[in-house]
Amino acid sequence: MNLLVLAAERENPLIPPIPELVIGLIAFVIVFGFLAKKLLPNINKVLDERREAIEGGIEKAEAAQTEAQSVLEQYKAQLAEARHEAARLRQEALEQGTALKEELRAEGQRQREEIIAAGHAQIEADRKAASQALRQDVGKLATDLAGKLVGESLEDHARQSRTIDRFLDELEAKAEAAR
């Protein structure tokens, strides 16, 4: 049969022939059946798994981050504590040093004063000894000189009368007063 004749017979292209409707339906149902019953549920399952895997990964990462954060906090706290401790130790050392210095200074002062005092006492003692010796010598010299001048020994007399001593005491007192 010629196609042109066939076309003339089926004038309206908008009227669907039944067999083609049936084949169209079958063809679509095949596609729909496979996709809806088997293939799309398959892929949906895998897509869900993938989403879970990704979410699991995110959760893991979040947990790791939280842990890292807590460790960081811990380190920071420890560091702060150590710093605090160091500051405290430094302060303590400073205080101890100051106290020590103070003590040493006081000790030095005391020792110096002791030395000075000892020196003074020594000087005083020496002076007294010297003065004693000098007095005796001067008295002897004076009586000797006077005895030579008078021609007789005045020594015993003078010694008994203590005149020279008195004289010398006076001289000394004068010197004291004048000083």
Partner 1 sequence: MSDPTQVLAFETDCHIFDGCGFPGPGLHSFLFEPLWGDPEGNAYFNKPMLLALLGSLVIVGFFWAAFRKPKVVPGKLQMVAEAGYDFVRRGIVYETLGKKEGEKYVPFMVALFFFVWMLNLWSIIPVAQFPVTSIIAYPAILAAIVYLTWMSVTFKRHGLVGGFKNITGYDKSLGAILPMVMVIEFFSNVIVRPFTHAVRLFANMFAGHTLLLLFTIASWYLLNGIGIAYAGVSFVMVIVMTAFELFIQAVQAYVFVLLACSFIQGALAEHH
Per-position DSSP letters for 112-139, written without gaps between them: HHHHHHHHHHHHHHHHHHHHHHHHHHHH
> Nearer Cβ to partner 1, position 20 or 156?
20
If binding is defined by CB under 8 A, does position 167 make contact with partner 1?
no
Number of Cβ within 10 Å of residue 158's Cβ equals 19
Residue in this structure with the two tokens 């939280």, named with its chain if needed: 66
* Least Å from the CB of residue 63 to partner 1: 21
d(CA 103, CA 83): 30
If binding is defined by CB under 8 A, does position 25 make contact with partner 1?
yes
* Least Å from the CB of residue 80 to partner 1: 46
**117-142 core/surface letters (b: 16 or more CB in 10 A; e: else):** eeeeeeeeeeeeeeeeeebeeebeeb
> Nearer Cβ to partner 1, position 16 or 108?
16
Stretch of residues binding partner 1 (CB under 8 A), selected from 14-22, 76-84, 93-101, 113-121: 14-22
> Nearer Cβ to partner 1, position 52 or 67?
52
d(CA 162, CA 82): 86
Contacting partner 1 (CB under 8 A), which of 16, 57, 97, 108?
16
Contacting partner 1 (CB under 8 A), which of 7, 87, 116, 123?
7
Q: Would you say 140 and 162 are in contact if contact means Cβ atoms under 8 Å apart?
A: no
If binding is defined by CB under 8 A, does position 49 make contact with partner 1?
yes
> Nearer Cβ to partner 1, position 56 or 119?
56
Q: Would you say 144 and 155 are in contact if contact means Cβ atoms under 8 Å apart?
A: yes
User: Most distant CA pair in the chain: distance in Å?
Assistant: 202
- Which residues form the interface with partner 1 (CB under 8 A)? 1, 3-4, 6-7, 10-11, 13-21, 23-28, 30-32, 34-36, 39-40, 42-43, 45-47, 49-50, 53
